[in-house]
Amino acid sequence: MNPARTLSDQQGAVLISGLMLLLVLTLLGAAALQGTTNQYRMAGDFVQQELAFQAAEAGLRDAEAWLENTVVLPEFNNSNGLYQPAPQLAFQAGIWADETPANYITYQGDDLGDPLPFPLPRYIIEFMAEVDVSGNDSIKFAPAAGDAPRIFRITSRGVGPNGRSTVILQTTFIR
């Protein structure tokens, strides 16, 4: 048997098989890279959403502190962030717009970091109602005349650093 003749009969079958295997491995690597890229983007979006949530939460706490510490509350006249209740007020077009700062109150604290990686949270406060204490039979804990507890709804909006993640939170506060 002639060894030279056996080698020439194969005519590059190993080369074609090797190239096919290399192509399959390249496709698998590209798919793995695509999956990693998607996971990286999802993690980044989660961070943006979490920062927006924390900003909105800071706005709620700021509004609660303002309500708690303000001795005489101003009139809730549907401006300057102080409203009478309105359906879906926080979702009305333009209420949070930069061009209308009289519609909301901007976060007053200084504890969010410097430089701030995202816009300051904004919030609105709605006076909902006075609590009816007419059935209260407690002498010790009864409020003074004209000092009945009042219910407020606070709506806060936080935006993530990239400006695309927005979170709106609401809470009810009794004072």
Domain that holds residue 111: 3-174
φ, ψ of residue 170 to 5 degrees: the values are -130, 150
Q: Where do we find the tokens 């303002």?
A: 66
pTM (predicted TM-score):
0.73
- Per-residue pLDDT band at 135 (split at 50, 70, 90): low
* Confidence at residue 99, expressed as pLDDT on a 0 to 100 scale: 84
- Give the pLDDT confidence score for residue 23 in this predicted structure: 92
- With CA atoms as reference, report the closest residue to 175 among 155, 153, 152, 141: 152
> Is 134 strand, coil or helix?
coil
Count of domains observed in the chain:
1
Sequence-separated (6 or more) residues with CB below 8 Å from residue 54: 158
pLDDT in tens, 31-75: 888 888 888 788 878 889 999 999 999 999 999 999 999 988 899
